[in-house]
Amino acid sequence: MKIIRLVAFLSALLIGKPGFAQSSIMQEDFKPSELNQPGKEFPQVNSEGRVRVQISAPDANYVQLDIGGVKYDLTKDENGVWTGESAPQREGFQYYQLNIDGASVPDPGSLYFYGAGRWGSGVEIPAHDKDFYALKNVPHGTVAELIYFSEITQEFRRCYVYTPPC
Protein backbone atom coordinates (compact mmCIF):
# COMPACT_ATOMS: atom_id res chain seq x y z
CA MET A 1 0.00 0.00 0.00
CA LYS A 2 2.90 2.36 0.77
CA ILE A 3 4.37 1.74 -2.69
CA ILE A 4 1.06 2.62 -4.39
CA ARG A 5 0.84 5.89 -2.47
CA LEU A 6 4.48 6.69 -3.28
CA VAL A 7 3.96 6.02 -7.01
CA ALA A 8 0.79 8.15 -7.02
CA PHE A 9 2.58 10.98 -5.21
CA LEU A 10 5.59 10.93 -7.57
CA SER A 11 3.32 10.77 -10.63
CA ALA A 12 1.35 13.79 -9.47
CA LEU A 13 4.57 15.63 -8.69
CA LEU A 14 6.09 14.95 -12.12
CA ILE A 15 2.92 15.70 -14.08
CA GLY A 16 2.57 19.06 -12.37
CA LYS A 17 6.17 20.10 -13.12
CA PRO A 18 6.34 22.66 -15.93
CA GLY A 19 10.02 21.86 -16.53
CA PHE A 20 9.17 18.46 -17.97
CA ALA A 21 7.09 19.86 -20.84
CA GLN A 22 8.82 19.95 -24.19
CA SER A 23 9.10 23.23 -25.99
CA SER A 24 7.39 23.38 -29.37
CA ILE A 25 9.88 26.01 -30.56
CA MET A 26 12.60 24.44 -32.69
CA GLN A 27 16.17 25.61 -32.17
CA GLU A 28 17.44 27.30 -35.36
CA ASP A 29 21.10 26.50 -34.75
CA PHE A 30 21.44 24.01 -37.61
CA LYS A 31 24.94 23.21 -38.87
CA PRO A 32 26.06 20.98 -41.74
CA SER A 33 26.59 17.35 -40.74
CA GLU A 34 30.18 16.18 -40.46
CA LEU A 35 29.24 13.35 -42.87
CA ASN A 36 28.26 15.60 -45.79
CA GLN A 37 29.72 15.34 -49.27
CA PRO A 38 32.50 17.95 -49.64
CA GLY A 39 31.05 21.44 -50.07
CA LYS A 40 27.42 20.42 -49.34
CA GLU A 41 25.35 22.41 -46.81
CA PHE A 42 22.69 19.71 -46.26
CA PRO A 43 21.87 17.60 -44.32
CA GLN A 44 22.14 19.74 -41.22
CA VAL A 45 21.79 18.93 -37.51
CA ASN A 46 20.77 21.24 -34.65
CA SER A 47 21.49 21.16 -30.91
CA GLU A 48 18.26 19.21 -30.28
CA GLY A 49 19.37 16.41 -32.62
CA ARG A 50 16.91 17.30 -35.36
CA VAL A 51 17.96 16.61 -38.95
CA ARG A 52 17.15 19.11 -41.71
CA VAL A 53 17.38 17.99 -45.33
CA GLN A 54 16.98 19.85 -48.60
CA ILE A 55 16.79 18.61 -52.17
CA SER A 56 15.90 20.15 -55.52
CA ALA A 57 13.13 18.12 -57.17
CA PRO A 58 10.90 20.59 -59.05
CA ASP A 59 8.81 17.90 -60.77
CA ALA A 60 8.15 15.83 -57.62
CA ASN A 61 4.68 15.65 -56.10
CA TYR A 62 5.85 14.77 -52.59
CA VAL A 63 9.16 14.24 -50.81
CA GLN A 64 9.77 12.72 -47.38
CA LEU A 65 12.71 12.26 -45.04
CA ASP A 66 12.80 8.66 -43.78
CA ILE A 67 14.92 8.39 -40.60
CA GLY A 68 14.60 6.16 -37.56
CA GLY A 69 11.64 4.32 -39.10
CA VAL A 70 9.58 7.53 -39.28
CA LYS A 71 8.77 9.54 -42.41
CA TYR A 72 8.60 13.33 -42.29
CA ASP A 73 6.97 15.37 -45.07
CA LEU A 74 9.07 18.06 -46.72
CA THR A 75 7.67 21.32 -48.10
CA LYS A 76 8.35 22.66 -51.57
CA ASP A 77 9.26 26.29 -52.28
CA GLU A 78 8.63 28.29 -55.47
CA ASN A 79 11.94 27.08 -56.96
CA GLY A 80 11.14 23.39 -56.54
CA VAL A 81 13.44 22.93 -53.54
CA TRP A 82 12.07 20.64 -50.82
CA THR A 83 13.06 21.24 -47.17
CA GLY A 84 12.05 19.59 -43.92
CA GLU A 85 13.13 18.47 -40.47
CA SER A 86 12.85 15.38 -38.31
CA ALA A 87 11.98 15.08 -34.66
CA PRO A 88 15.02 14.90 -32.34
CA GLN A 89 17.09 11.77 -33.02
CA ARG A 90 19.26 9.74 -30.64
CA GLU A 91 22.96 10.56 -30.48
CA GLY A 92 25.32 8.81 -32.88
CA PHE A 93 25.23 7.61 -36.47
CA GLN A 94 21.83 7.39 -38.17
CA TYR A 95 20.97 5.92 -41.55
CA TYR A 96 18.33 7.80 -43.53
CA GLN A 97 16.94 8.14 -47.02
CA LEU A 98 14.71 10.42 -49.02
CA ASN A 99 11.44 9.26 -50.48
CA ILE A 100 10.60 11.06 -53.74
CA ASP A 101 7.17 10.20 -55.16
CA GLY A 102 7.43 6.73 -53.60
CA ALA A 103 11.02 5.97 -54.61
CA SER A 104 13.51 5.61 -51.74
CA VAL A 105 16.82 7.22 -52.73
CA PRO A 106 20.02 8.28 -50.96
CA ASP A 107 20.47 11.98 -50.24
CA PRO A 108 23.04 13.40 -52.70
CA GLY A 109 24.23 15.75 -49.95
CA SER A 110 25.53 13.05 -47.61
CA LEU A 111 28.29 10.50 -47.87
CA TYR A 112 27.06 6.99 -48.65
CA PHE A 113 27.34 4.06 -46.24
CA TYR A 114 26.66 0.39 -46.76
CA GLY A 115 24.25 -1.19 -44.31
CA ALA A 116 21.13 -3.36 -44.27
CA GLY A 117 22.12 -4.79 -47.65
CA ARG A 118 22.18 -1.48 -49.51
CA TRP A 119 23.95 1.85 -49.88
CA GLY A 120 22.31 4.72 -48.02
CA SER A 121 22.80 8.14 -46.55
CA GLY A 122 24.13 8.75 -43.06
CA VAL A 123 24.14 11.59 -40.58
CA GLU A 124 25.96 11.95 -37.26
CA ILE A 125 24.00 13.36 -34.32
CA PRO A 126 26.75 14.80 -32.08
CA ALA A 127 26.94 13.40 -28.56
CA HIS A 128 26.52 15.77 -25.63
CA ASP A 129 29.92 14.62 -24.33
CA LYS A 130 31.73 14.61 -27.68
CA ASP A 131 34.42 16.99 -26.40
CA PHE A 132 35.52 14.40 -23.83
CA TYR A 133 36.40 11.96 -26.64
CA ALA A 134 37.82 14.49 -29.10
CA LEU A 135 41.51 14.45 -29.99
CA LYS A 136 43.37 17.16 -28.12
CA ASN A 137 46.89 18.50 -28.19
CA VAL A 138 48.04 17.62 -24.69
CA PRO A 139 51.50 16.79 -23.28
CA HIS A 140 52.35 13.12 -23.71
CA GLY A 141 54.83 10.92 -21.94
CA THR A 142 56.51 7.83 -23.33
CA VAL A 143 55.88 4.11 -23.01
CA ALA A 144 58.88 1.80 -22.97
CA GLU A 145 58.87 -1.99 -23.20
CA LEU A 146 61.39 -3.69 -20.92
CA ILE A 147 62.35 -7.36 -20.99
CA TYR A 148 63.75 -8.81 -17.78
CA PHE A 149 64.50 -12.17 -16.19
CA SER A 150 62.16 -13.07 -13.34
CA GLU A 151 63.64 -14.99 -10.41
CA ILE A 152 60.12 -16.04 -9.38
CA THR A 153 59.01 -17.59 -12.68
CA GLN A 154 62.51 -18.44 -13.92
CA GLU A 155 61.75 -17.02 -17.32
CA PHE A 156 62.02 -13.82 -19.27
CA ARG A 157 59.08 -11.48 -18.82
CA ARG A 158 58.11 -8.16 -20.27
CA CYS A 159 56.71 -5.03 -18.70
CA TYR A 160 55.65 -1.64 -19.95
CA VAL A 161 56.78 1.52 -18.17
CA TYR A 162 55.01 4.83 -18.70
CA THR A 163 56.91 8.01 -17.93
CA PRO A 164 54.87 11.21 -17.80
CA PRO A 165 55.79 14.31 -19.83
CA CYS A 166 58.99 16.11 -18.80
Residue 82 belongs to a domain with what CATH number?
A: 2.60.40.10
**List of long-range contacts for 126-132, beta carbons under 8 Å, 24+ apart:** 126/34, 126/45, 126/91, 127/91, 127/92, 128/91
- Asked if residue 54 belongs to a domain, the reply is yes
**Distance between CA 15 and CA 74 in Å, rounded?**
33
- Asked if residue 150 belongs to a domain, the reply is no
Average pLDDT over residues 98-121: 92
**Distance between CA 45 and CA 85 in Å, rounded?**
9
- Asked if residue 20 belongs to a domain, the reply is no
3-state SS assignment for residue 144: strand
C-alpha dihedral over 84, 26, 40, 69, to 10 degrees?
A: -50
122, β-bridge pairs: 95
- Asked if residue 99 belongs to a domain, the reply is yes
What range defines the domain where residue 127 resides? 26-133
Q: What is the pTM of this model?
A: 0.67
Round the CA-based radius of gyration of the chain to a whole number and report it.
Answer: 26
- Asked if residue 3 belongs to a domain, the reply is no
- Asked if residue 156 belongs to a domain, the reply is no
- Asked if residue 64 belongs to a domain, the reply is yes
- Asked if residue 46 belongs to a domain, the reply is yes
Overall number of domains in the chain: 1
pLDDT in tens, 39-96: 999 999 999 999 999 999 999 999 999 998 899 999 999 999 999 999 999 999 999 9
Q: Which pLDDT band holds residue 11 (cuts at 50, 70, 90)?
A: low
Average pLDDT, the chain: 88
